[in-house]
Amino acid sequence: MQRNTALEWLRLHANEGVAYFADDDNSYSIRLFEEMRSVRGVGVWPVGLVGGLMVERPVPGADGRISHFNAGYKPNRPFPIDMAGFAINVNLLKTHQNAK
């Protein structure tokens, strides 16, 4: 509910930028936030020590697009990714008003 409230606030008040839900049990490198600035749609990246794995990550296919995710926790979910493993551009949020 809190994340969805944040998304609604962003849709109403933000005109640019990237939304990212930092996790309270992670540590971060400033390089992650520098890289996030270039996200034009959705960006995904590896997260360490998640779901019993050393690294949970998106796995690229031959075309460079994500083919699947290497995930330990409920790997059959449509997008088995940790909350700290993605960011979304605010303009994409505004385009998809019903996304939660």
Share of the chain above pLDDT 70, in %: 100
| Confidence category of residue 94, pLDDT binned at 50, 70, 90 | very high
Please state, rounded to an integer, the average pLDDT across all residues of the chain.
92
pLDDT at 25 over 90: no
| Confidence category of residue 50, pLDDT binned at 50, 70, 90 | confident
What's the confidence (pLDDT) of residue 96? 94
CA-to-CA distance for 52 and 75, rounded, in angstroms?
12
* Cross-strand pairs, 60: 66
When pLDDT is averaged across residues 87-99 and rounded to a whole number, the result is: 94
Q: Which domains does the chain have, with CATH numbers?
A: 2-95 (3.90.550.10)
What's the confidence (pLDDT) of residue 83? 87
Q: Give the full edge-to-edge strand order of the sheet including 42-44.
A: 18-20, 86-89, 42-44
